[in-house]
Amino acid sequence: MSGRRVFLVITAVVLLGMCASRLSAQQTMKVMFYNVENLFDCRHDSLCDDFDFLPEGRKHWTLWRKTEKVRHIAQVITSIGEDTAPMLVGMCEVENDSVMCSLVEYSLLHSVGYRYVMTQGSDPRGVDVALMYRPSLFRLLATSSHEVPVERIRAGAHARPVLYASGELINGDTLDVFVCHWPSRLSGRRRTEPLRQMAADVVASLIDSIQTVRPEAHIIVMGDFNETPEGEAVRSLPLHNVTASEKGSYRYRGKWEQLDQMLVSPSLMEDNSSLKVLGGTAEVFRAPFVLERERLYGGYRPFRSYNGMKYIGGYSDHLPVFVRLEMGVR
């Protein structure tokens, strides 16, 4: 073999090795959010109005139904993860440590090794928000709960706290995460809009504090915002909404709405970033098993646990959303 040919072969081998090294240095992990629709235990909490979700309550919430609910949630999470469980799972409408422990310790997720943090708010029904994380991929650095003081606007009003968590990723980057469940529209969209704006203001203030110290901070805000991406409160956040183009995660009277969303900082949208949202968009999980036919309006809707007071044994009245994060070498 001539010297020139040897040189070309060696060069090709080196270049292939460099490409393989570059590919192996990148890893894609998923981050998801799921409104799980009333994950309660079966015991009465004297501080909460949880009477409907007791064995003798109107919804006859038994240990068997709670166990089935936990199994369903674990099934959804593992299905979204496909061959690798999501790195982070934000959730809302979870009652307490008991149900979270059931999920991370006594379900299909046990082998993943999830840990969790959650809020302890003043919601009358006792539901809170939580974040499950894989400590091998997300080393928890800090966590805190932030109240949304909506009683200043309206006496007797309540809002779930905003959950904040910061963690170090395996590539050395820091990721700041907020999990939200903003006030509902039950009393009317216009009447409740100021409450959601206050929740947005709390989140925006926290983001500003982070970016003052770390201007290029990697930030994800996820949750059930109880308004679409076009809502004023959501649009007031200084972030990019990666779910703005999705069809919807919640169906009301035959109309899909994108209430469950993910918003990210500009740094997660840059092509040359060591951490970025792959494809620049989030996805709504629409596997057939989380949907059911809707007779009244036609089409499909989320396969929920209850239809009114009737137990139908589904998953949730919301569909989960998720993003793929590509991590590279810093």
Domains delineated in the chain = 27-327 (3.60.10.10)
> For residues 200 and 234, what is the distance between their CA atoms, to the nearest angstrom?
7
CA 24 to chain centre: 27
Q: Is 118 within 8 Å of 94 (Cβ atoms)?
A: yes
User: In the predicted model, what is the mean pLDDT of the chain?
Assistant: 91
Place of tokens 């036919």: 293
State the average pLDDT over residues 315-322: 98
pLDDT at 307: 93
User: 146: pLDDT confidence band, cut at 50, 70 and 90?
Assistant: very high
Which spans in the chain are helix H? Answer: 3-25, 63-81, 97-105, 189-213, 232-235
Q: Is 134 within 8 Å of 87 (Cβ atoms)?
A: yes
What is the torsion angle, in degrees rounded to the nearest 10, for the CA atoms of residue 43, residue 46, residue 52 and residue 55? 30
> For residues 53 and 246, what is the distance between their CA atoms, to the nearest angstrom?
33
pLDDT at 284: 97
| Weakest mean pLDDT among 17-21, 30-34, 93-97, 258-262 | 17-21
**pLDDT > 60? residue 207:** yes
Read off the tokens for 25.
């240095």
Q: Give the β-pairing of 275-277 and 321-327.
A: antiparallel
Rg (CA), the chain: 22
| Residue of 7 and 54 predicted with greater confidence | 54
User: 132: pLDDT confidence band, cut at 50, 70 and 90?
Assistant: very high
Read off the tokens for 183.
């006030």
Backbone angles phi, psi at 20, to 5 degrees: -65, -40
Closest CA to 214 of 142, 163, 306, 322: 142
Q: Tell whether the torsion through CA atoms of 33, 34, 35 and 40 is positive or negative.
A: negative
Place of tokens 């499950």: 132
Q: First and final CA of the chain: distance in angstroms?
A: 41
pLDDT at 22: 39
Q: Tell whether the torsion through CA atoms of 239, 244, 249 and 250 is positive or negative.
A: positive
> What region does 126 belong to: left with phi over 0, alpha with psi -120 to 50, or beta?
left
Closest CA to 242 of 213, 211, 276: 276
> What region does 274 belong to: left with phi over 0, alpha with psi -120 to 50, or beta?
alpha
* DSSP one-letter string for 248-315: -SEEETTEEE--EEEEE-GGGG-TT-SEEEGGG--EE---GGGEEE-TTT-SEEE--SEETTEE---S
**pLDDT > 80? residue 7:** no
State the average pLDDT over residues 217-234: 97
| Amino acid identity for residue 64 in this structure | W
* Reported pTM: 0.91
Number of Cα atoms under 13 Å in the Cβ half of residue 30: 21
Helix axis angle, 97-105 to 63-81, nearest 10°: 60
pLDDT at 142: 98
**pLDDT > 90? residue 4:** no
User: 330: pLDDT confidence band, cut at 50, 70 and 90?
Assistant: low
- Rounded percentage of the chain residues whose pLDDT exceeds 70: 92
96-127, pLDDT tens digit by residue? 999 999 999 999 999 999 999 999 877 888 89
User: 244: pLDDT confidence band, cut at 50, 70 and 90?
Assistant: confident
